[in-house]
A and B are shown apart, each in its own frame.
Chain A
C-alpha cells in the first residue's frame, strides 16, 4: 500500500488515521463518471470521460504517487464519517469562532469575464459582454436527526448563452458542492488549471444543526457556510474554462442532480493537508527537476512567500475579529451597568441621562457586532480563501513536476530499450533474434510516442500554468480591491452612525443641570 512509502510529519498523524480508516471502512465504490478510486485499490487509470479534456494516464501505478490521494474522498453521508473525519483544523487555517450576529452581509458580485472556446486554452483578450450573478440563499433543513441536511437555493442570473434561460434556481446540498469540486479537480488539476477549492467540512458545525439546536452558533455556522458556498461558486464560474464544463452547467441548471453518493468528497482542508504532505514528501523525494525556466522557479518562490504572508495576515485578522466580539460583549455589559445606575439614581436629569447612555451603548454594541461581521466576512474569509487557493496553485506546480518526471522516466526507459536493441544486434541466436528484434522495435516505437506525448504534456501544462498564474494575479488585485472598498464603506458607515448617536446624546448630557 502506498502508506508505507509515506513519512508522515508527526503533527499530522490524525490525517493519516483518516485515510487508513477510509481504506478499511469503505468498500470499493462503484465506478461512476469521473470518479477516482480510493487508494485501497491498486492505482489505476482514471476512467476517461469524453466531456473532460483529454487525459492521459497521469495517475499511473506509481506507489510514490501521493497525488493519487488528492482525489481520494470520503463520503459525507455515511455514519462512519463522524468517527472517521476528525474535525481537526487543517494546518493552514483553523476555523474561527463565528461572529455574534447573523447579519447577512451582502456579497453579491458582478463579474465580467472573457469568453473563450472550450478546447482552446488561449484566452481571448477581454471581450467582456457577459455577466453572471450567482447567489446561494435560503438554507433549509431537510429531514430529521442525523440524516438531516441543509438544502441551499442556488440562483443564477446571466446573459451567458451557455445557459438555456436568463434566470433559474436549483436546490443543492453541501455534498453536491463537494461533488462538483471533486469532479473538476480530477479533470483539471493535473493539467495545470487552478481549480478553486471547495469550502471546508465541519462535523461539529453540522452536527449541531442536525440535532436541531436553533441557537445562534448554529445560525452563524449556516451563514458562514452559505457565504463560503457562494464565494466558491463565483470563483469557479469566473474561470472561463471551468464555466463551460458540463458538470458546472449541470450543477447550476439541472433540477435533478445525481446524488454524490459514491463521490467521497474531499474538503479543501483535506486537500490542503494532502498537498502539504505531498509537497514535503516531494521535496524529500529525488525529483530534482532541472528547471530550465526561471519563471517557474521565481513563481514557486513567490507563492511560498505569499502563503506565509497570507497566513500571518489571516491570523492577525482572526485576532482582530476576536477582540471586536469581546468589545461587543463588554459594551453590552457596560450598557446594563449604566442602566442599573440610572435606575438607582435619585436625581431625575442624571437618571435620564444615564438611561440614555445605556441605550446608546446598546446601539454601539450592535455597531461592534456589525463591524466584527465585516472584519470576518470580508477580510478573514478573503484571506482564508486565498490561503486555500494558494494550496491549489502549489498543487498545480507539483503536478507539473510530476509531468516532467514522467516524461524523463519515459526517456530513460526509451534509452534503456535502445541500448537493449543495440545489444540484440550483437547477439548470435538467429531464431530468437528476429522475434526479439521485432518486439523491441515495437516497444521502442511505443515508448517514443509516449515520450513525445510526455514532452507535449509538459509543455502544455507549463503553458497552462503560466496563463493560470497570470489570471490569478489579476483576479487577486480585483478581489482585494472589491473587498477593501466594501470594508471601507463599512468603516465609514460605522463612524457616521456613531456621530448620529453622539449628536443625539450630547443635549441629554448637557441637560443634566
Chain B
C-alpha cells in the first residue's frame, strides 16, 4: 500500500485523450474496473484494476490541492454516483442512464471522467493521477488530509449563500445561466431516460408476442391449417425483428445522447459547485472587509492581514473561474455535438436496416400463397 501522496506535481506519463475503461469485473457485490492507458513514450500500455473507492481517492486528492492558487475556481470533472450490484430502485434512479445495461454506460462515464481529468492542465499534473493510472498496486485508501469541499453535504446554513448577490456582472450572469441549464439539462436527461425505458418495455412486449405466436402453430396436413401455421411462424419472425429494432434503438439512445445528456447534467452541477465556492469566498471577503473596517486599533492590523489574504484568494479564484467557464463552454458544446451527431448517425443506420428487414417480410407475405 502506497504512503500518503505528497503534493508533488509532475507530468503525466500517459496520453490523456484515449484512456479506456475496457472491462468491469464482478466479484459478488464488488465491482472492479480495468483501465488501460497508452504510454507517452509509445512503448506500451498500462493496465490497472481500480474500484470505485479508488476513484474517490483520486478525486479527494484533486480536491485537496491547497497549494494550487485558485484551485477552488476549478470546475472539477464530475464522477458518477457510486454503483451498486443489485441496486435498489432509489440507487437506480440516481444513476439514471449509468445504471442501465451491464455497466457499459457506467464504464463509459468513468472513462470520460478520467479523460477530462487527464486533459485538465491544472489537474493532470497531480501525482495522484499518475499513480492512479499507472501503479500496479491499488492507490492508498486513506482519506486525503482535509476535505475542503465535501460534495455530498452542503451545510444548511451555507445554502442561503447561494442566492447572495454578486459584485461582478459576468459572474452573476454565469450563475443565473448555470441555474437555468442545470435544471433543464437534468429534466431533459430524465425525460430521455423515460423514453429509453419505454422502448425497452416495447422490445419485451414484442418478444412475448413473438413467442406466443409459436404456440399457434398447428400440426396436420390440412392445407388451411398449414397456411395459418406458416403465417404464424413468419409473423413471429417479424415481431422478433421489431424487438431487435427497439432494443437497438434503445441501446443507441443510451450510448450516445443518453450519456451526453447525463454528462451535461452532472457537469452543470460541477460548475454550480464551483460558482458556489466562489460565492462563499465572496461572502467571506465581504465579512473580512467589514471586520477590517470596524476593527479596533488593536486588532486592525490582524484584520487587515485577513482581508488581504481573502482578497488575494478571491482574485485568484475569479481568475481561474473565468478561464474554467470559458473552457467548460467549449467542452460541453463539443460533448453535446458529438452526442447528437453519433445519436443521429446510429439511429439512421438502425432505421435503414429495419426498413430493409420489414420490406423483405412484406414481400414475403405478399408472395405467400
- Which residues of A are interface residues toward B (Cβ below 8 A)? 302, 306, 309-310, 312-313, 316-317, 319-320, 323-324, 326-327, 330-331, 333-334, 336-338, 340-341, 344-347, 350, 353, 357, 470, 473-474, 476-477, 480-481, 484-485, 488-489, 491-492, 495-496, 498-499, 502-503, 505-506, 509-510, 512-513
Contact = CB atoms under 8 A, between A and B. Distances in A.
Contact of A319 (B205, B351, B352): B205
B180 A344 contact: yes
Contacts of B341: 506, 509-510
Interface string B209-230: 1001101101000101101100
B45 interface: no
B355 interface: yes
Contacts of A326: 198, 201
Contacts of B190: 337
Contacts of A476: 224, 228
Interface in B106-153: none
A497 to B, nearest CB: 9
Given A327-B199, A333-B194, 16 more contacts: A306-B216, A316-B205, A319-B208, A323-B198, A327-B202, A337-B190, A340-B184, A341-B181, A345-B181, A474-B224, A476-B224, A485-B366, A488-B361, A492-B359, A505-B344, A509-B341
A473 B334 CA distance: 61
Contact of A309 (B177, B216, B354): B216
Contacts of A340: 184, 187-188
Contact of A491 (B201, B228, B231, B242): B242
Contacts of B209: 313, 316-317, 320
B1 interface: no
28 contacts: A302-B218, A312-B215, A319-B208, A320-B206, A327-B195, A327-B202, A334-B192, A337-B188, A337-B192, A338-B188, A340-B188, A341-B187, A357-B340, A470-B224, A473-B225, A477-B231, A480-B231, A481-B231, A484-B234, A484-B365, A485-B365, A491-B238, A491-B354, A505-B344, A506-B341, A506-B348, A509-B340, A512-B333
A346 B195 contact: no
B225 A506 contact: no
A477 B351 contact: no
B208 A492 contact: no
B334 A502 contact: no
Given A491-B242, A509-B341, A480 B228 contact: yes
B215 to A, nearest CB: 5
Nearest to B222: A473
Nearest to B355: A495
Nearest to B356: A495
B157 interface: no
Contacts of B187: 337, 340-341
Pick the 7 closest A-B CB pairs, nearest first.
A495-B355, A473-B224, A509-B340, A512-B337, A334-B191, A488-B362, A337-B188
Nearest to A482: B365
A475 to B, nearest CB: 9
Contacts of B344: 502, 505-506, 509
B72 interface: no
Contact of B212 (A316, A337, A495): A316
B336 interface: yes
Contacts of B347: 498, 502
B47 to A, nearest CB: 34
A505 B339 CA distance: 13
A499 B195 contact: no
Contacts of A334: 188, 191-192, 194-195
A67 B333 CA distance: 73
Contacts of B355: 492, 495-496, 499
Nearest to A314: B212
B175 to A, nearest CB: 14
Interface of B: 177, 180-181, 184-185, 187-188, 190-192, 194-195, 198-199, 201-202, 205-206, 208-209, 212-213, 215-216, 218, 222, 224-225, 227-228, 231, 234-235, 238, 242, 329, 333-334, 336-337, 340-341, 343-345, 347-348, 351-352, 354-355, 358-359, 361-362, 365-366, 368
B220 to A, nearest CB: 9
Contacts of A302: 218
A328 B202 CA distance: 12
Nearest to A477: B227
B194 A323 contact: no
Contacts of B224: 470, 473-474, 476-477
B207 to A, nearest CB: 10
Given A334-B192, A338-B188, A498 B208 contact: no
Given A347-B333, A513-B337, A313 B348 contact: no
Given A350-B336, A488-B358, A344 B238 contact: no
Contacts of B336: 350, 512
B362 to A, nearest CB: 4
A499 B188 contact: no
A99 B232 CA distance: 25
B78 to A, nearest CB: 18
B362 A492 contact: yes
Contacts of B227: 477
Contact of A506 (B212, B345, B362): B345
A496 B227 CA distance: 30
A151 B184 CA distance: 49
B195 A331 contact: yes
A350 B337 contact: yes
A308 to B, nearest CB: 8
Contacts of A499: 348, 351-352, 355
Contacts of B184: 337, 340-341, 344
B194 A330 contact: yes
B296 to A, nearest CB: 48
Given A326-B198, A334-B192, A505-B344, A309 B206 contact: no
Nearest to B238: A488
Given A323-B202, A495-B354, A347 B228 contact: no
Nearest to A358: B188
A509 B341 CA distance: 5
Contacts of B329: 347
A350 B192 contact: no
Given A324-B202, A492-B355, A512 B348 contact: no
A320 B199 CA distance: 11
A380 to B, nearest CB: 11
Nearest to B217: A309
Contacts of A336: 191
